[in-house]
């Protein structure tokens, strides 16, 4: 039971949430036994780590580097594969007692469809599928699915055909126009868009005179990207009718409120959990405080209020 | 033996206040932190992610082994090597800190009665607590290696905490000339357990202890970390038995689990 009031309850893209705060993909253990004390408070839903059809060891070499107020990561989608997830990890994950959003990554459309088929066989409930389109499309020379309109369209359409449940599309901030890509996802049948994933960056190891990461580029997240993500959410929310879920750099309770005022119906928090496992609860307290101060009764009333 | 060692206590995020920060030589600090609420007791080898409270730059908590851990008081010994540790070193008593821990699996209580601890410089940190925790029950010998000149304040500090610690230095200016692995290999034998913490190359060399009949070699590894609790996979290592996370599957591992089967004569 959520310790927070009913004013934070909301329905986002077909998923009922006790609070609008979701744990983003890839940052938190899927086994709640590993969660620090109190960190489930205020969490409305949890995303799985990025799953792929086959198990992946992830990237070799160094995987994380701190930057000014942020981190660059190059994990490379290490996961035990979707079969193992359904057979083993999902039951422990379900102990969190929160809606489970399953995040999937894929190299080809066949991979995508096969992954979805495995998920369909799960006896445990999957509240939504979150399609990560920031992974490379190997049939197009490794170009990210989410930065080319036809590529994105083919992926969302394939996922939509294969999956009868709720479908969220997690957009890549590298897309040339977040608004257009959100609209495209909506047109292909997504119930919500998540805006967005990490921002491509890089680091150089000056001593070795080489790129720091084996893969050269890596994903930037954390407080440093918040203003960029906020702008992207604003654009997406102006372009679509379906809900937008804000994600990127939310590190303080006020950031989550800003995202919602900009048009996000819910938020995902990632990197900030590395430093504050109680952030979801603090966000909820801030939202409740703001609702009281403005004399509003529900978090839904806050969505997009800065756009009036 | 029930010393509670090695058992993982659930990590929690805690606010702490810096009690003291003492220089140990040019580049190291010994600090004590008073926590707002108790944490689970930590075993030698377990660690905390430590950062200045409420600051986003530097962002990440730095993994540090707790040298002394009471319910509400923790102590650390660290070397200033970059942005995060210099920031921590610049704080004065009363400063607010954020700590996540105790994280990971520490050293399990030794099976035998003779234990050899081998440390490369700051690798001594997790052993400071072990020596007192094990008390009289186990015959403990500690071996420390440092580069040499300039490390006297550090070695003196360690000698004060662990009387009888065997010193080795690369240039021979402090204790024996040579490295701590060679020194420790003269001491190992059947019935002795060995724990190591320090540079990875040193830890790998410790596998030679098996040739001398040593049955158990445990090592504490270091990797860059994000979450510290097994979620982000920043700290993954490839081992003969698959991918492992240093933060939750370690940092303390059986030598064979990470380096494979040692060569035996
Ligand atoms: C389990 C564990 C226990 C440790 N215990 C101690 C201890 O008791 N005393 C001590 O002096 N040191 C200890 N270390 C090493 C210590 O964490 C690093 O020296 C420290 O994080 C470096 O941070 P910085 O701000 O000085 O360097 P920066 O270069 O500014 O750090 C940048 C990033 O790299 C990471 N990083 C850099 N070097 C290391 C490293 N060797 N290991 C892990 N992350 C690193 C930092 O955490 C940070 O995220 C431990 C490491 C681990 C993994
Ligand atoms: C270590 C790490 C691993 C991540 N893994 C995934 C992943 O597997 N799938 C995915 O869609 N996003 C992944 N992300 C992106 C986050 O879910 C989030 O979208 C991004 O970090 C921006 O939000 P933040 O600034 O709050 O972290 C990962 C981020 C980090 C830092
Ligand atoms: S630091 Fe996140 S999994 Fe180890």
Task: Name the band, by pLDDT with cuts 50, 70 and 90, for residue B265.
Answer: very low
Q: Examine the pLDDT at A1 and tell me if it is beyond 70.
A: no
Task: Return the DSSP state at A138.
Answer: G
Q: Enumerate domains of chain B plus CATH numbers.
A: 12-103 (2.40.30.10), 114-259 (3.40.50.80)
Contact A71 B226 (CB under 8 A): yes
B13: which chain A residues are within 8 Å (Cβ-Cβ)? 36-39, 276-278
Predicted local confidence at residue B121, as pLDDT: 97
Task: Name the band, by pLDDT with cuts 50, 70 and 90, for residue B261.
Answer: confident
Nearest to A28 among B11, B61, B227 (CB): B227
Predicted local confidence at residue A4, as pLDDT: 83
Is A47 a catalytic site residue? no
Predicted local confidence at residue B7, as pLDDT: 43
CATH number assigned to the domain with residue range A6-58+78-199+221-307, chosen from the 4 options 3.20.20.70, 3.20.20.120, 2.60.40.2230, 3.60.150.10: 3.20.20.70
Q: Which residues pair with B115 in a beta bridge?
A: B140, B193
pLDDT tens digits, one per residue of B59-70: 999 999 999 887
Among A2-6, B6-10, B14-18, B75-79, the least confident range: B6-10
pLDDT tens digits, one per residue of A4-21: 888 999 999 999 999 999
Give Cβ neighbours of residue B174 (< 8 Å, ≥ 6 apart): B146, B148, B149, B151, B152, B155, B167, B168
Distance from CA of A64 to the nearest CA of B (A): 6
Share of chain B above pLDDT 70, in %: 95
Share of chain A above pLDDT 70, in %: 99
A57: which chain B residues are within 8 Å (Cβ-Cβ)? 238, 243
Predicted local confidence at residue B9, as pLDDT: 66
Task: Return the DSSP state at A140.
Answer: G
| Dist CA A192 CA A186 (whole Å) | 7
Predicted local confidence at residue A87, as pLDDT: 95
Residue B91, exposed/middle/buried by CB under 10 A (0-12, 13-18, 19+)? middle
> Is residue B30 classed as helix, strand or coil in its secondary structure?
strand
Share of chain A above pLDDT 90, in %: 91
Predicted local confidence at residue B6, as pLDDT: 42
Nearest ligand to the CA of A270 is: 2
Q: What is the DSSP string of chain A?
A: --SS-GGG-EEETTEEESSSEEEPTTSS-SSGGGSPTTTTTT--EEEPPPB-SS-B---SS--EEEETTEEEE-----B--HHHIIIIIHHHHHTT-S-EEEEE--SSHHHHHHHHHHHHT-SS---EEEEETTSEEGGGTTEEGGGSHHHHHHHHHHHHHH--S-EEEEE-TTSS-HHHHHHHHHHTT-SEEEE--PEEEE-EETTTTEESSTTSEEEEESGGGHHHHHHHHHHHHHH-SS-EEEES---SHHHHHHHHHHTEEEEEE-THHHH-TTHHHHHHHHHHHHHHHHT---GGGGTTGGG-
Predicted local confidence at residue A2, as pLDDT: 62
Q: Is the dihedral of CA B218, B220, B223, B226 positive or negative?
A: positive
A147-170 average pLDDT score: 97
Mutation target to probe the B interface, by most B beta carbons within 10 A, among A63, A103, A218, A219 is A63
Q: What pTM does this model have? A: 0.95
B103: which chain A residues are within 8 Å (Cβ-Cβ)? none
Predicted local confidence at residue B8, as pLDDT: 52
Question: Closest-CA residue in chain A for B223?
Answer: A62
| Dist CA B16 CA A169 (whole Å) | 40
Q: Is the dihedral of CA B147, B148, B151, B155 positive or negative?
A: positive
Among protein residues, the one with the nearest Cα to ligand 2's atom 3 is A26
Domain ranges of chain A: 6-58+78-199+221-307
Predicted local confidence at residue B53, as pLDDT: 97
A214: which chain B residues are within 8 Å (Cβ-Cβ)? none
Nearest ligand to the CA of B102 is: 1
A101-106 average pLDDT score: 97
Cβ–ligand 1 contact at B90 (below 6 Å) = no
A72-82 average pLDDT score: 96
Contact B226 A62 (CB under 8 A): no
**Average pLDDT over chain B, rounded to whole?**
92
How far is the centre of ligand 1, averaged over its atoms, from the C-alpha of A86 (Å)?
A: 36
B11-15 average pLDDT score: 95
Q: Examine the pLDDT at A307 and tell me if it is beyond 80.
A: yes
Predicted local confidence at residue B12, as pLDDT: 94
Contact A64 B225 (CB under 8 A): yes
Mutation target to probe the A interface, by most A beta carbons within 10 A, among B229, B237, B240 is B229
Neighbours of A282 (CB within 10 A): 17
Among A239-248, B97-106, B123-132, the least confident range: B123-132
pLDDT tens digits, one per residue of B109-167: 998 889 999 999 999 999 998 888 887 788 999 999 999 989 999 999 999 999 999 99
Q: Examine the pLDDT at A302 and tell me if it is beyond 80.
A: yes
Do β-strands B236-239 and B242-245 pair in parallel, antiparallel, or remain unpaired? Answer: antiparallel
**Average pLDDT over chain A, rounded to whole?**
95
Q: State the first-to-last Cα distance of chain A, in angstroms, to the nearest integer.
A: 34
């Amino acid at each position: 039971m959520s310790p927070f009031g009913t004013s934070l309850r909301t329905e986002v893209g077909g998923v009922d949430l006790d609070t609008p705060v979701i744990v983003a993909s890839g940052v938190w253990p899927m086994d709640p036994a590993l969660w620090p004390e109190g960190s489930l408070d205020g969490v409305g839903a949890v995303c799985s780590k990025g799953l792929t059809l086959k198990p992946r060891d992830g990237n070799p070499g160094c995987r994380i580097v701190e930057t000014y107020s942020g981190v660059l990561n190059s994990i490379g989608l290490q996961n035990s594969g979707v079969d193992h997830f359904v057979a083993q990890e999902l039951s422990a994950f379900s102990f969190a007692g929160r809606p489970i959003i399953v995040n999937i990554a894929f190299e080809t459309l066949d991979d995508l469809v096969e992954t979805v088929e495995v998920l369909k066989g799960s006896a445990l409930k999957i509240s939504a599928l979150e399609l990560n389109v920031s992974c490379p499309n190997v049939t197009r020379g490794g170009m990210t699915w989410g930065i080319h309109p036809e590529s994105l369209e083919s992926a969302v359409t394939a996922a939509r055909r294969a999956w009868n449940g709720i479908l969220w599309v997690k957009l890549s901030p590298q897309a040339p126009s977040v608004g257009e890509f959100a609209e495209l996802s909506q047109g292909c049948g997504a119930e919500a868009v998540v805006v967005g994933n990490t921002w491509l960056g890089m680091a150089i190891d000056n001593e070795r005179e080489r790129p720091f990461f084996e893969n050269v580029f890596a994903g930037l997240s954390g407080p440093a990207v918040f203003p960029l993500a906020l702008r992207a959410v604003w654009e997406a929310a102006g372009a679509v009718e379906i809900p937008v879920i804000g994600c990127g750099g939310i590190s303080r309770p006020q950031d989550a409120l800003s995202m919602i005022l900009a048009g996000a119906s819910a938020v995902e928090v990632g990197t900030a959990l590395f430093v504050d496992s109680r952030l979801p609860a603090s966000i909820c307290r801030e939202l409740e405080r703001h609702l009281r101060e403005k004399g509003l009764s529900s978090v839904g009333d806050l969505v997009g209020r800065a756009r009036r | 033996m029930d010393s509670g060692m090695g058992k993982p206590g659930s990590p929690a995020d805690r606010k702490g206040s810096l009690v003291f920060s003492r220089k140990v030589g040019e580049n190291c600090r010994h600090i004590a932190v008073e926590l707002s609420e108790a944490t689970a007791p930590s075993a030698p080898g377990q660690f905390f992610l430590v950062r200045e409270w409420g600051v986003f730059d530097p962002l990440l908590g730095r993994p540090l082994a707790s040298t002394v851990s009471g319910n509400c008081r923790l102590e650390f010994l660290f070397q200033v090597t970059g942005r995060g540790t210099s920031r921590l070193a610049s704080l004065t008593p009363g400063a607010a800190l954020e700590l996540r821990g105790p994280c990971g699996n520490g050293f399990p209580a030794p099976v035998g009665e003779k234990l050899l601890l081998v440390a490369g410089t700051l690798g001594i940190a997790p052993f400071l607590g072990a020596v007192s925790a094990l008390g009289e029950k186990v015959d403990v010998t500690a071996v420390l290696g440092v580069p040499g000149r300039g490390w006297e304040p550090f070695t003196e500090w360690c000698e004060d905490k662990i009387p009888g610690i065997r010193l080795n230095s690369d240039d021979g200016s402090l204790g024996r000339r040579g490295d701590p692995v060679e020194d420790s290999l003269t001491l190992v034998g059947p019935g002795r357990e060995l724990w190591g913490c320090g540079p990875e190359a040193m830890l790998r060399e410790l596998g030679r202890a098996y040739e001398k009949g040593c049955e158990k070699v445990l090592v504490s590894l270091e990797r860059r970390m994000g979450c510290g609790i097994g979620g982000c996979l920043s700290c993954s290592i490839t081992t003969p038995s698959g991918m492992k996370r240093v933060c939750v599957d370690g940092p303390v591992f059986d030598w064979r689990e990470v380096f494979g089967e040692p060569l035996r004569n």
